Amino acid sequence: LRRFQAVRELQREVKQLYVELNEKTEALDEARARISELESSSSKAGEEAVIQKTIHTDVDASLNYGYEEELESMRRKLKDCHKEVDGLRETNSRLERLLEQSHPQPSSPAVINVNGGSLYDGMGFADPAEAEYLKNVLYRYMCSRENLGKEAVTLARVIGTVAKFSKSEMDNVISREESRVAGWVGGTVSHVLTGR
């Protein structure tokens, strides 16, 4: 969510820089047009024409220098913003790929819908991806808990963490899951040894 906000903020800055760049370019064009107009309308004799041209050249040079310097500064800022946006997009894509690789989608995802609301409505999740992750972990845990062994304890920890269980709730769930896993493994071994 923060990445998307950062990208949006940078896009706003880029848009603002484009607006400022256009304004400065228009002002520069207007100044050049005015100077050109004054030079062409000036039909006075020798010295006055030379003085006028010198004044206009000085004004044009100072205006151009100021605008062009500011224009170049804005172009550098715009280029930096583009680089930062590209970097953020690349990082975002990489993180999304890592998330997809570390949490593959089940073949038939469970759908949880209570009174028309979604899983993460009112549960205090930072974003829908967190709720989706919890849903996938719960699905795996509920469908294959008996076959997971000690991994069931790990999944219980993940579920408790993402669902924001209190410390006492987490301890209670983990101790029950560990004793269930230990009882199952112990029971299986004793049945194999005794032949039952």
Q: Which domain holds residue 16?
A: 2-102
Q: Are residues 132 and 190 in the same domain?
A: yes
**Residue 47 lies inside a defined structural domain of this protein:** yes
Q: Are residues 98 and 17 in the same domain?
A: yes
Mean pLDDT, residues 146-159 taken together: 80
Domain count, the chain: 2
Q: Are residues 29 and 84 in the same domain?
A: yes
Say yes or no to pLDDT of 128 above 70. yes
Q: Are residues 97 and 146 in the same domain?
A: no
pTM over 0.85? The answer is no
Minimal CA–CA distance to 57: which of 72, 42, 69? 42
Q: Mean pLDDT of all residues in the chain? A: 72
Distance from C-alpha of 123 to C-alpha of 141, rounded to nearest angstrom: 20
Q: What is the CATH number of the domain that holds 70?
A: 1.10.287
pLDDT digits (tens, 9 = 90+) for 157-191: 888 887 888 999 999 989 988 888 777 554 444 44
For 171, phi then psi, to 5°, come to -60, -45
Say yes or no to pLDDT of 11 above 70. yes
pLDDT digits (tens, 9 = 90+) for 88-120: 778 777 777 777 777 655 544 444 444 444 444
